[in-house]
Amino acid sequence: MHVGFIGLGTMGREMARQLLEAGHRVTVWNRSPEAVRALVGHGAEAAGSLAAVLDAEAVVSMLADDTAVESLLLSPELLAGAKARVHVNMATVSPALARRAADLHAGHGVGYLAAPVMGRPDAAAAGNLAVLAAGDGALLDFVQPLFDAMGRRTWRLGDRPEAANIAKISANFMLMSAVEALSEATALGEANGLAAADLLDVLTGTVFPGPVYSGYGAMIAERRYEPAGFRLALGLKDVGLALDAGAGSRVPMPLAGVLRDALLESVAHGEGDRDLAALGESARRRAALPRPDRTP
């Protein structure tokens, strides 16, 4: 299939590479040219413009947030000239944007699917992402080979694209809540003479097994926050999406408010580009625990 790919950040470039390795023809566009050149080296074609990307049979986008999607891809003029059958938005965006985007695309004869993914960059590089997809069933069938190339499993969540975004926002809220709880528990242990690695061994060997606690727990224990697989700044964005969605549907989310403030504190301390595990550093800072000569 001829695929247009927009957004070659940490996740996007690995996802585009998986499409190339699966034998698809991939035309790429990115605001910074370095990522485009790197993918061209792997066999991709560089698009001269966004409009050229939308000449492909299917367009996949992996952009940072609502603002990026709105400014780049929700132009009526751009969509009016599109030849693509479908646009698959794989970013974590708001349900409101998904509804608006679906309506705008439909008005120009282009299908719209939401398919945010779960997994860090290493999972993207291995084609091992979890794909949460929603939208028209025939279009999902059409792009399923692309999901198969990028992910290990696709969950189909109905015919309303925004349902996939709600699922992803909910999952990220739970992930960040777990990391914040682990950070606070680790600080409590350290303040009382318990090594973080020992606490982690107890937790993951008993009531909290699994990749979230073992993976993030090890990063917190080692104070290893770079390179970032999930940046704190994006976590702050995502919990904001959860709070907005909750307000819009009259669902109180008191824990999300606490989590937002914890993330905001980290970003205010200049840690926005660090991994989500740096919530552990905020918990240590609030507890006035000793700092090493050099923070990792």
Q: How far apart are CA 135 and CA 85, in angstroms?
A: 13
Residues in contact with 73: Cβ distance below 8 Å, sequence separation at least 6, in sequence order:
6, 50, 61, 63, 87, 89, 101
Catalytic position from the list 13, 17, 120, 168: 168
Instruction: State the CB neighbour count (10 A cutoff) for residue 43.
Output: 13
- Quick one: CA dihedral 258, 261, 267, 271, positive or negative? negative
Q: What angle do CA 151, 157, 161 make, to 5 degrees?
A: 95
- Cα 189 to Cα 66, 186, 284: the distances in Å are 39, 5, 10
Tokens of 15: 């996802």
Which residue type does 158 have? G
- Quick one: CA dihedral 230, 232, 233, 238, positive or negative? positive
- Cα 148 to Cα 5, 87, 161, 221: the distances in Å are 16, 17, 19, 35
Both ends of the chain: CA-CA distance in Å?
44
Whether 83 sits among the annotated catalytic residues: the reply is no
On whether the CB atoms of residues 46 and 40 are closer than 8 A, the answer is yes
* Catalytic residue positions, numbered: 168
